[in-house]
Structure 1
Amino acid sequence: MAAACSSPQNTATQPSPTATPNAPVTASPSTSPGLESPVPTQRLAPAPDLPVANLCSTQIASTADGNAVPLLCKSGALNVPAWRFYADVSASVLGLGLNPTAGQVEAAICDDFKRGHATKLQEQSGYKLASTYYGWNFDIDPAKVTCP
């Protein structure tokens, strides 16, 4: 029985010194809003090419209209978690590549509306991510694209 008494004392002694305070302190900085870190250049699916933009990572928040923010980090780099958030709903526009025509971009936007079920607001975000990733300079507003 003495062994049973000493075991609970050791168990009670071990967790109480610093185990609880250390966990929140360690977790808090990694989830703090506004904290961003650079991400090495890499191809992000569904893109066929490497990005021309710098990449970063910062926490995203979902908005009531189904979007995620921020799309870009404070440095202007593309936010990888935001890209991944839009990878399914805006797959066609995100997967176009470096040198599409304006017509191909508009067709991809329409495909995202039809197959990805993107809303106009979601597709505007997907288009902004793709434009940043690939360095496009088209004067296209996905909300004004007329689809067949």
Structure 2
Amino acid sequence: MSAEDPLSILNCSSTFLGLWIHQKGIVHAAGRCLLRAALTVKYAFVVHPEDRFACMTDVGWSLVTRPLLDGVTATVLESTPVYPTPSRHWQVVEKHKITQFYTAPTAIRLLRCLGERHTQDDLSTVRVLGSVSEPIDPEACLGLV
């Protein structure tokens, strides 16, 4: 496989003045995409080999690939933030001693609405709490700390 071979295609639509024009795909080259993912994890997320990484969001976010490129344990969970219990994510953090926890602002807002239930779980291993995919409002962010 060449570094320039396609790894994935991100489909998006073009719009002009609110009107849909056409669908187009952005091709991610294997070498560049994987290198950028590895460098992002290493320098932006500041991971260490002993870290345990959990990105509880859509599988489309490189939740497994990025940590594994730097030799970090990745946790994958098939669930929603509130099933089978409202503190599902926090139970996973406690059980697997997650050090870096990332999720989407939508999930953070949902978890925040559930109140202080996360205080029942031991979250002392979490060193980094991150938000992906969209801007996060200060109230949602502060509701988790």
- Shorter-chain TM-score above 0.5: no
State TM-score, norm by structure 2. Answer: 0.33
**Per residue, is there more strand in 1 or in 2?**
2
State TM-score, norm by structure 1. Answer: 0.32
**Per residue, is there more helix in 1 or in 2?**
1
